Amino acid sequence: MEKSIENIWKEGFESEAKLSSPVISNLYKKKSKLVIQQINSKSKKDNLSLIPVALIIFGILAFMGEMIIGIYAVILITTLFFVNKEMLKDLETVDTKDNTYSYLLNYKNQVKKIMKYSTWIAGFGLPLAILPAYWMFFEDSKIMAKFNTLHLGMEILIVMGLALLLSAIAILGYRLSTQVVYGSLLEKLENTIEDMEELMET
């Protein structure tokens, strides 16, 4: 990662004739480097925070006597951790052979790709994973007993409605958390790219 970041800012601007001013080059080199490093640092810390979350949830469920659901939750969250880790590796594989502007543009596109994929996980993956946990939690309860007396069509409608509700909540939660954690940094990245484009047009 160091090689990809350092090389692009040491060599990238040398190939940009329209950004040839040493002062401007140095300004955007420092600004871009800071933004990229902050995004990478926050994304890694954000993903690592899933580990203590998994342990806390397991502890709470185990205390409630729901050991199986606790283990299930740990498996789900740990899987999400490794999926995120693999996606974040894509940021390190962004091609650094082009100039700095192209690198930043490719980096932004890769971030958007990760966010789009994460939205799909939140919207479809989490409801599919959480519904079985609900079933295990309410098994042998009065709620489940009453549910089993319903017509099959009504049961399907309830499950689908619950899945849609969970999907909406998960997507909204993901987008809000992303805006809170990364909003200002992504805006800085976008502004840096726009500034460079304006300078290249003049």
pTM over 0.85, yes/no: no
* Average pLDDT score over residue span 9-24: 52
Asked if residue 13 has pLDDT above 50, the reply is: no
Burial class (CB in 10 A: 0-12, 13-18, 19+), 98: middle
DSSP symbols for 117-169: HHHHIIIIIHHHHHHHHHHHHHTTSHHHHHHHTS-HHHHHHHHHHHHHHHHHH
Mean per-residue pLDDT over the chain, rounded: 79
Give the C-alpha separation, 192 to 198, whole Å. Answer: 10
Best CA proximity match to 37, nearest among 13, 14, 9: 9
Reduced to 3 DSSP states, what percent helix, strand and coil does the chain have, rounded to the nearest 5? 90, 0, 10
Fill in the DSSP letter of residue 95.
-
